[in-house]
Every structure is written in structure tokens, then in C-alpha cells.
Amino acid sequence: MKLLTGNDLASGDVIWWTGSGWSRHVADAVDVGAEGDALLASESAARRVNAAYVIDAEATTAGPLPLHIKERIRASGPTVRADLAINTEIPIVKA
């Protein structure tokens, strides 16, 4: 599965493509499949997202889980303080 991610232009927050817009929650993300590069170009050109890119993920019962640790950290939220995390359910280290 492929996800489209980037940063919100106004806040800098990590955001995920939902199929119709952007969300701060990876659980809302949808598989962009082969359409990822076209969506990336369109959303970047429309200036709705900053530094967007396509990543690999796997479908789980809790929603998409990014395969790379960097993306799991981004999905979980800031690591400087646990109380700032967006989603503490996301495992940083994959079992």
C-alpha cells in the first residue's frame, strides 16, 4: 500500500491524504496506489501541501501503518514529549 504524506503549509503539521483532502491522523489515510505521483504533483502545484511524498505502508486493523520508522515517528507525533503525541497507539518499533 502507498500513502501520500507531507506537511501542512500553515502549521507545519504532518498530514496524510484521505482521498478527498488532508488529515493529521494516519488512520484517515487511503491507499493512493499507482495514482500517488499524479496526486503528489496536483496537490503540490495547488499549494495545499509542503514537501509531499509517497511512502510504503501496510494495512492493519487499526489503519495504515507506515513501514519505515521515520514515517511511524512522523505519524505518532512529536517525540520530545509523550503528551504531545497525536497517536500513542502507533508502534514506533515494529514487532
pLDDT tens profile 14-26: 999 999 999 999 9
Confidence of residue 73 (pLDDT cuts 50, 70, 90): confident
- How far, in Å, are 54, 90, 95 from residue 50 at the CA level? 13, 23, 31
- Domain span at residue 7 reads 2-84
Residue 17: inside a domain: yes
Comparing 12 with 88, the larger pLDDT belongs to 12
Residue 95: inside a domain: no
pLDDT over 70 (residue 43) = yes
Residue 89 pLDDT: 75
Q: Exposure string (b/e) for 26-48, b if CB count within 10 Å is 16 or more?
A: bbbbbebeeebeebbeebeeeeb
Residue 71: inside a domain: yes
Phi, psi of 78, rounded to the nearest 5 degrees: -55, 140
Radius of gyration of the chain (CA): 13
Residue 44: inside a domain: yes
- How far, in Å, are 27, 54, 84 from residue 3 at the CA level? 11, 6, 23
Query: What is the total count of domains within the chain?
Result: 1
